[in-house]
């Protein structure tokens, strides 16, 4: 069942989203060569708890951390560890979720570790652009296929692969609600969208082939061919008659946003 939220409920999700934005920005600022992924996880958990929120990933299906730290060919669900020391030239996807006053927020971004090759920067930028292209199709009366096809066309026209085996999702009181939000599809197809739906849109884009394998810790998802992969996610709310509100990107205004320009 898809749950539609009223404006008070969306206000709660906006507060959760704003806190998650601060957490992810603080974690991203600490990313540099020599840092362990476990230290990033500790920072995320401490900040979440200090603000009276709960880390939603910790204990979810037995997941052992508050943050996912996915390096290079790891697409998602990299478990932070003391033994994993970040090296310059890598890319790191940071994915985090929290619950504030019973309402969920979920967001991810990919950041460089030190200096990275131009090709890796282009992958990160294209993944963000794919998100914004998809998100700007999250309109009252549109369909899920409109979002997926917009994400897919940005990624594939840049020569990249769209990960197929994992999707975005509805979000609200639960982290994972219906519907599944595919990062590919056909315009006009699939579930119709309406005002008050809140979605986590999260393109996962590979530099090459989209096939994935599971790592041997039971969590990590890796590109099968070892290609670099980037992830970018926000929790959004569909509005009555305008562009969606990006709840995990406080202060965002579409008119200032060049990522989502229709020309792209």
Contacting residues toward Co ion, per CB under 5 A: 106, 200
| C-alpha to C-alpha distance for 191 and 131, rounded to whole angstroms | 19
Among 60, 117, 157, 242, binds ligand MF3 (CB under 6 A): 60
The sheet that has 161-162: what strands, in order across it? Answer: 161-162, 204-206, 229-231
Question: In this structure, what token pair is assigned to residue 144?
Answer: 């899920």
Q: Does 25 bind ligand MF3 (CB under 6 A)?
A: no
Q: Is the CB of 67 or the CB of 238 nearer to ligand MF3?
A: 67
| DSSP element (H, E) containing 200 | strand 198-201
**Phi first, then psi: what are they for 189, rounded to 5°?**
-95, 160
State in angstroms the smallest separation of the CB of 120 from ligand MF3: 21
77 binds ligand MF3 (CB under 6 A): yes
Closer of 60 and 88 to ligand MF3 (Cβ)? 60
Select 84 or 140, whichever has its Cβ closest to ligand MF3.
Answer: 84
Segment contacting ligand MF3 (CB under 6 A): 34-42, 59-67, 118-126, 155-163? 59-67
Least distance in Å: CB of 236 to Co ion? 12
Q: Which of residues 187-206 bind ligand MF3 (CB under 6 A)?
A: 200
Handedness of CA 187, 188, 190, 196 (dihedral sign): positive
Residue 71 beta carbon to ligand MF3: minimum distance, rounded to whole angstroms: 16
Of 212, 76, 190, the residue nearest 134 (C-alpha): 190
Query: Distance (Å, rounded) from C-alpha 105 to C-alpha 236?
Result: 9
What are 4's two structure tokens? 């539609």
Is 160 a residue that touches ligand MF3 (CB under 6 A)? no
Q: Is 182 in the site for ligand MF3 (CB under 6 A)?
A: no
Q: Which helix (H) or strand (E) holds 96?
A: strand 91-100
Residue 218 Cβ vs ligand MF3, minimum distance, rounded to whole Å: 11
Question: Is 106 an interacting residue with respect to ligand MF3 (CB under 6 A)?
Answer: yes
Collapsed DSSP state (helix, strand, coil) of residue 50? helix
- Both tokens of residue 54? 């709960």
Instruction: Decide: is 234 part of the binding site for ligand MF3 (CB under 6 A).
Output: no
- Residue 45 contacts which entry, ligand MF3, Co ion, none (Cβ below 5-8 A, type-dependent): none
Question: CA angle, corner 255, sides to 118 and 185, nearest 5?
Answer: 65
Q: Which residues bind ligand MF3 (CB under 6 A)?
A: 57, 60-61, 63, 68, 77, 95, 97, 106, 108, 169, 200, 233
């Amino acid at each position: 069942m898809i749950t539609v939220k009223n404006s008070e409920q969306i206000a709660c999700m906006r507060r959760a989203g704003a806190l998650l934005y601060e957490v992810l920005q603080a974690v991203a600022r600490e990313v540099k060569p020599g840092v362990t992924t476990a230290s990033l996880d500790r920072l995320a958990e401490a900040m979440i708890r200090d603000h009276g929120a709960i880390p939603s990933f910790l204990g979810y299906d037995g997941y052992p951390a508050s943050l996912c730290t996915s390096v290079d060919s790891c697409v998602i669900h990299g478990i932070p560890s003391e033994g994993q020391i970040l090296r310059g030239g890598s890319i790191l996807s940071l994915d985090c979720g929290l619950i504030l006053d019973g309402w969920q927020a979920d967001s991810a971004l990919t950041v460089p570790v030190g200096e990275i090759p131009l090709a890796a920067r282009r992958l990160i930028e294209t993944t963000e652009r794919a998100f914004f292209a998809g998100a700007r199709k999250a309109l009252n009366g549109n369909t899920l296929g409109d979002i997926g096809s917009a994400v897919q066309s940005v990624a594939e026209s840049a020569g990249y692969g769209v990960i197929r085996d994992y999707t975005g999702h509805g979000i609200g009181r639960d982290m994972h609600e219906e519907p599944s939000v595919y990062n590919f599809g056909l315009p006009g197809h699939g579930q119709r969208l309406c005002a008050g739906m809140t979605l986590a849109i999260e393109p996962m884009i590979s530099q090459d082939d989209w096939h994935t394998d599971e790592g041997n810790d039971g969590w990590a998802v890796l590109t099968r061919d070892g290609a670099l992969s980037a992830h970018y996610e926000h929790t959004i709310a569909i509005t009555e008659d305008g562009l969606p509100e990006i709840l995990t990107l406080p202060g965002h205004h579409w008119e200032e946003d060049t990522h989502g320009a229709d020309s792209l």
